[in-house]
Chain A
Amino acid sequence: MKPLLRRLRAELFATRTDTVLSLALISLITLAAFGVLRWAFTQAQWAVIRVNSTLFAVGRYPVEQQWRLWLLTALLVAASGATWGLLRAHPRPDRSGVLWPRNDRLALVLLVLIALAVPAALGLSLAIASRWWGLTVLLILCRWLAGRFGAGLPASGQRLAALVWPALYLVGMVLISGGLGLVTVSPSEWGGLMLTLLASSFAILLCFPIGVLLALGRRSDLPLLRWGSVLYIEFIRGAPLITLLFLGQNILGFLLPGGLAPERVWRAAWVLTFFAAAYLAEAVRSGLAAVPRGQLEAARSLGLSYPKALQHVVLPQALRVALPAMVGQFISLLQDTTLLSLIGLLELLGTARTVMANPAFLGRNGEVYLTLAVLFWGCCAALGLGSRALERRLDPHAVPSAT
């Protein structure tokens, strides 16, 4: 207790000015927090979220096909748990080999609390609530198994395990859209958080390779390649995303004969991809600029071909430098998906608009927007946490841990 008090005093109440400022700010923050909490617990009518929870989660996805989404969630949860455990079983040299560090224990408690609180708050039926609990148990089980037995996995096995994620993405696509014996669910029926995550993950995954190629093209010695990349990047960066989305939605229909234009959802996802790629290219270029020219020259003089030198020497260093900027780009991409509501897609914000217009829930704007804010914050925080963990893993200067 003593050190905490001393720290508070040193940081908040050191001088008279500090004390006045601290007291003023603390009382302001307390007042605001109290106001929000009082509203949330006494005035807000949360039925609008409870009743429409499925709509917010998956949009108009047909009820009798929703088991496919539960299955996909279970697969994702299992893969996440296994990955988490494997990472702990194969710590970097700078990390202690502890299987359950403090952060993991905290995360575990948090997950269990969420699994208990969310179904209760939403008033979900026992059948649905038990699926939530089942998913949590599955996560912990996979985490434990991979942590316990993962250490024996050889390096080749680890590389193979990493391939689970792209494979899972393809499986997820089939589960969501149908085909291969499953009933087709048209993209016009996708919505809610699912559509937001699908569109943003699609764009994030595909904009990365395109962005790297554009950045390399921009630094290329071939004029055609260089000017092509510059033209593309500057054109995209000069146009607001919403105009590009409108172009994609409405002009493709004129240009291509009927039926040839891809589904609206995919058009929007591709526009997001090409848009993000231009910005990502600039982030990667900043990383490339940070790698001294000597690195490439040294690699070439060792006899590495240009692509090999890029792959093994230049890009790993450049991407590490560009990582924070790239993740910032991904986070803003996730938030940019709200623009899809302006072209009539029912992603999270579009769903919110239609829910707030439902005659039974008119005037419930505060509840809906607050829920949206929490959901978006959760997704962005997860991205941020993941990127920081990745940065630590890639940091070559990390001091080896004492234990």
Chain B
Amino acid sequence: MGINTISRAARLLLLALLTGLVGCSSANEAPGSPTMAKIRERGRLVCAVDGAVPGFSTVAPGGAFVGIDADFCRAVAAAVLGDPGKVEFRPVTAGERFVALNSGEVDLLSISSTHTLSRDAPGGNALSFGPVFFYDGQGVMVPLASGINSLRQLAGQPICVESGTNTELNLADRMRELGLAYQPLRFQSGEQAYPAYEQGRCAAITSDSSLLAAKRSGFKDPAAHVLLPDLLSKEPSAKVTVQADPAWADAVRWITYTLFQAEESGLTQANVEASREAARADASQAERRRFLGIEGDFGRQLGLPADFTVRVVKAVGNYGELFERHLGKATPLGLERGLNRLWTAGGLHIAPPFR
């Protein structure tokens, strides 16, 4: 015990000396991230999820958190700690998520949080946003039988909307822009609005497109309702960390990019190990060798293991796999990828070069 403490103190001293030296000698060394140090010391990542957003994070009957947001937590744990299971999920509600992050209660927000200026800026919430993880937008759903296929046809019609939300304001803005009169039918919560729409009390209902699609899958006849092509707002959501720890924000950023890059390179949960062996034997696959940590020291520059990309993809798969597993056509939600395709397929997700 005594010796242990002494050697730990000695190590700490050495570390402090080294960081001091390194700080003035070379910009190449990995900067220390207090959050990552805390995560390693505690042996698990404390990851905030909403816990009640279909496809993003819910609790399965067996007690495990499932969804694309929950799997992102696992990807980060795999990269930092080498084990996707070392996550403590912390359900937080929309109202308290930023406070929970800033007070150090959680290491990372893996919740659909729209990236806005005031949340990002030092004079606002002073948060650090990763790359956009999911492109959403406010959509409008109508019954297929109504034959409505554009916002203009909703003139004078009742539209169901949750009161006191951005959704309600966006609808008013857009209808004013178009010069259309309409009757907003306001509800306190979605639990009242969706049944009212399903019973035919309004001609249309508006909310985030992903949520509309999710709610539709719970309807008696989901195929009888369609989403209009018009979007009323853009809601690009990203993973959030504290601004005070840029090294941690960088690590989370590049873990997100890893998911995009893996899809672009055709690397999947199933083939990533074999691909790495193949690339190790084949010096001509330069780009892949860099991405998989065979060449260069990109992992170390981020304060992560050299093979963090392999660990991430092995743990949860690439972005496309994540999307299809939790949100795509094979799930009850049945979302289109749309803007969430890679840039190579006409979408908006793009990973900067790993070099």
Contacts and interface: CB of A to CB of B under 8 A. Distances in A.
A189 B64 CA distance: 10
A357 B54 contact: yes
Given A186-B88, A354-B91, A358-B60, 9 more contacts: A60-B59, A60-B64, A258-B38, A342-B93, A344-B91, A351-B59, A356-B52, A358-B54, A362-B54
A60 B60 CA distance: 9
B207 interface: no
A361 B53 CA distance: 12
Interface in B92-120: 92-93, 95-96, 99-100, 103-105
Nearest to B98: A250
A365 interface: yes
A51 B61 CA distance: 6
B63 A55 contact: yes
A359 B332 contact: yes
B32 interface: no
A361 B218 CA distance: 7
A250 B61 contact: no
Interface string B323-340: 000000001110000000
B215 interface: yes
A21 B191 CA distance: 35
Contact of B91 (A251, A350, A358, A364): A350
A249 B103 CA distance: 10
A254 B194 CA distance: 39
A59 interface: yes
Contact of A357 (B58, B92, B105, B331): B58
A59 B51 CA distance: 13
A346 interface: yes
Contacts of B89: 188
20 contacts: A52-B61, A60-B63, A250-B96, A250-B105, A253-B103, A258-B38, A343-B92, A344-B51, A344-B91, A344-B92, A357-B52, A358-B54, A359-B54, A359-B55, A359-B58, A360-B332, A361-B218, A363-B217, A363-B218, A365-B191
Contacts of A355: 58-59
A258 B103 CA distance: 9
B343 interface: no
Contacts of B52: 353-354, 356-357
Contacts of A264: 105
A254 B103 contact: yes
Given A253-B103, A258-B104, A354-B91, A363 B219 contact: yes
B93 A343 contact: yes
Interface string A115-158: 00000000000000000000000000000000000000000000
A275 interface: no
A270 interface: no
Given A186-B88, A258-B104, A356-B52, A55 B61 contact: yes
A359 B59 CA distance: 10
A351 B59 CA distance: 8
B214 interface: yes
A246 interface: yes
Interface of B: 38, 51-55, 58-64, 88-93, 95-96, 99-100, 103-105, 191, 194, 214-215, 217-219, 331-333
A362 B214 contact: yes
A346 B91 contact: yes
A264 B214 CA distance: 31
A63 interface: yes
A249 B96 contact: yes
Contacts of A63: 62-63
Given A63-B62, A343-B96, A344-B96, A359 B90 contact: no
B104 A253 contact: yes
Contacts of B105: 249-250, 253, 264
Interface of A: 51-52, 54-55, 59-63, 186, 188-189, 246, 249-251, 253-254, 258, 264, 342-346, 350-351, 353-365
A364 B333 CA distance: 15
A367 to B, nearest CB: 12
A264 B93 CA distance: 14
Contact of A359 (B61, B191, B333): B333
A354 B59 contact: yes
Most A C-beta atoms less than 10 A away, residue of B60, B63, B90: B63
A345 B100 CA distance: 13
B190 to A, nearest CB: 10
B51 A346 contact: yes
B49 to A, nearest CB: 9
Contact of B332 (A188, A189, A254, A362): A362
A91 to B, nearest CB: 46
A363 B191 CA distance: 9
A364 B217 CA distance: 11
Nearest to B53: A357
A361 B66 CA distance: 14
Nearest to B220: A363
Nearest to A360: B332
B213 to A, nearest CB: 10
B280 to A, nearest CB: 39
Contacts of A364: 218
Contact of B59 (A55, A246, A342): A55
Contacts of A51: 61
Contacts of A246: 96
A154 B190 CA distance: 61
Nearest to A43: B220
Given A63-B63, A253-B104, A253-B105, A362 B218 contact: yes
B51 A353 contact: yes
B6 to A, nearest CB: 23
A250 B88 contact: no
A362 B99 contact: no
A60 B91 CA distance: 12
Nearest to A251: B103
B91 A359 contact: no
Contacts of B51: 344, 346, 350, 353-354, 357
Contact of A344 (B53, B90, B218, B219): B90
A178 to B, nearest CB: 16
Nearest to A361: B218
Contacts of B90: 188, 344
A354 B69 CA distance: 14
Contacts of B100: 249-250, 253
Contacts of B92: 343-344
| Residue of A61, A253, A345 contacting most chain B CB atoms (<10 Å) | A253
B182 to A, nearest CB: 26
Contacts of B95: 342
A39 to B, nearest CB: 13
